[in-house]
């Protein structure tokens, strides 16, 4: 059975917040940041996350992510060391760079009538991926 099925939606929200924030966090900070009703509720879900081996408790009652698992909305993110970046940011960068290279390396063709279609498609694709990147960041 996957971790996603065993954890409650609130535990997944806590875990997602901790992954995207990074570092040590306290119970009260999680309660305030996620708008949860009580510190006891947060402590309960943190205990479940500790049982699953996803989170560890440190000195002073603070917690941090111990194991990164791509669950829920985190599937839209890529982890680069300690940095968590939206997957669509890579796509936007790749398509944007290709479109710019096309325009600068082949300006005589890119500015012709058939070549403009490629520029328009590249610009539209880049804008779409930027939009998805912003949406993923807002959902965090």
Query: Domain check: are 90 and 109 in the same one?
Result: yes
pLDDT band for position 4 (cuts 50, 70, 90): very low
Query: Has residue 63 got a pLDDT over 80?
Result: yes
Of 17, 47, 69, the position where a domain reaches its end is 69
pTM value is 0.56
pLDDT per residue as tens digits for the range 16-34 = 888 878 889 999 999 998 9
Tell me the residue range of the domain where 105 lies: 78-139
- What percentage of the chain reaches a pLDDT higher than 90? 43
Same domain, 63 and 110: no
| Predicted pLDDT of residue 127 | 96
109-118 tens-digit pLDDT: 989 988 999 9
DSSP-assigned letters across all residues of 31-96: HHHHT-S-HHHHHHHHHHHHHTTSEEE-GGG-EEE-S----GGGGGEEEETTEEEEHHHHHHHHHH
């Amino acid at each position: 059975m996957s971790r996603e099925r065993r954890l409650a939606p609130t535990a997944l929200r806590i875990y997602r917040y901790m992954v995207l924030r990074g570092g040590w966090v306290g119970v009260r900070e999680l309660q305030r940041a996620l708008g949860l009703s009580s510190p006891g509720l947060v402590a309960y879900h943190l205990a479940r996350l500790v049982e699953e081996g996803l989170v560890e408790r440190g000195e002073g009652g603070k917690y941090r992510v111990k194991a990164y698992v791509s669950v829920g909305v985190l599937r839209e993110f890529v982890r680069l060391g300690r940095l968590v970046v939206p997957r669509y940011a890579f796509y936007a960068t790749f398509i944007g760079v290709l479109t710019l290279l096309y325009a600068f390396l082949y300006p005589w063709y890119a500015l012709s009538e058939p070549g403009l279609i490629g520029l328009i498609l590249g610009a539209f694709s880049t804008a779409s991926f930027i939009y998805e990147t912003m949406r993923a960041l807002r959902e965090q």
